[in-house]
Amino acid sequence: MISSAVLTKILQQLGQEGGEVEVLKGATSSLVFRVGEGILRVHTNQDWLHEEPDLVLHEVFALQAAGDLAPDVLDYQTDVRDEVPPWLYMTRSPGEIRLDQVDEQYVDRLAQMLAAIHALPIPESRYVYQPYATERHVPTWTQHPERWRQLLAVEPDESQTIRFIHRDFHPVNVLYEMNGTCHTIDWINACVGPIEVDLAHCRLNLALLESIEMADHFLKSYLKQTKRSYDHAWDIRAVFDFGPETIDVYPGWKAYGRQNLSQDNVRERLEKFVLKVYENNESGY
């Protein structure tokens, strides 16, 4: 957290001192507030800032590159000044995060939103895709170590579709309006890279949150809309990017009502996801 004094300094810079401020739930790597009619992100994660000192500029780039599909940048501070950490203030997108009914209609909308992101112009950028995981290990909790072991060296063929990608596209980063309109948020990891990265990341989130069936429906819906193909080796890269040894319930799922999940549930669903990729390694889904 940050002190009330530090938050007050930011609000003063924004001309929002004395206005309504609400801490938004579900954020895991930064502090996010609703301030007036906008959204304020404050960076207090020192490890992340050390790894990527220009986090704010990265998000500014991403929001501008996404255009009408993302919030507008209103103001920002890129470094620590007078004990105030880096922050960004942006417009607030309408809608709510909905995890109460993750069905086929829901994932169809997810697929439509992701297809729209991948149709955006490719910006000139120094922010390019890199895998998160640099090493792969068989998790100690697995019931099928040999099958995991056979997937350690599985890598996808080089992508033929390099686009502007969100890099963290999943249900907690999409807002739904009552009329069915969707808005994507949390663009801070966006970069230029393979579209399969977004597909695999969202598929794995859906498999862990809901079911493999919903993950498969999402992929089929996206491929039908875009007339593209998909190499399931990207699923394996996503699995290891998630860190299978320590994987647990994503805090955002519980924050938005999915209280029925446990680490055992998540591990079991991850195992099923991996086994399906293993079983279909030759023939595909």
pLDDT digit string (tens) for 115-146?
999 999 999 999 999 999 999 999 999 999 99
Range(s) within the chain of domains with CATH label 3.90.1200.10? 104-279
Please give the radius of gyration of the chain, using alpha carbons only, rounded to the nearest integer: 19
Residue ranges matching CATH 3.30.200.20 in the chain: 4-91
Residue 245 to residue 266: CA distance in whole angstroms: 12
CA nearest to 147, candidates 268, 275, 235: 275
pTM, rounded to two decimals: 0.94
What CA dihedral angle connects 23, 28, 29 and 34, to 10 degrees?
-20
Give the per-residue pLDDT at 40: 97
Sign (positive/negative) of CA torsion 271, 277, 280, 285? positive
- pLDDT on residue 285: 37
pLDDT for 216 beyond 60:
yes
Whether the predicted pLDDT of 27 surpasses 90 = no
Residue 283 has pLDDT above 70, yes or no: no
- Sequence-distant (6+) residues with CB within 8 A of 262 are 249
Report the distance separating Cα 218 and Cα 105, nearest Å: 10
Report pLDDT digits (tens) over 224-257: 999 999 999 999 999 999 999 999 999 999 999 9
Mean pLDDT along residues 91-104: 95
Nearest to 114 by CA among 160, 156, 66, 155: 66
> Does domain 4-91 match CATH 3.30.200.20?
yes
The answer to whether the CB of 180 falls within 8 A of the CB of 109 is yes
Correct CATH for 104-279 of 3.40.50.2300, 3.90.1200.10, 2.40.50.320, 2.40.50.1020: 3.90.1200.10
- Per-residue model confidence (pLDDT) at position 1: 77
Of the pLDDT bands very low, low, confident and very high (cuts 50, 70, 90), residue 271 is very high
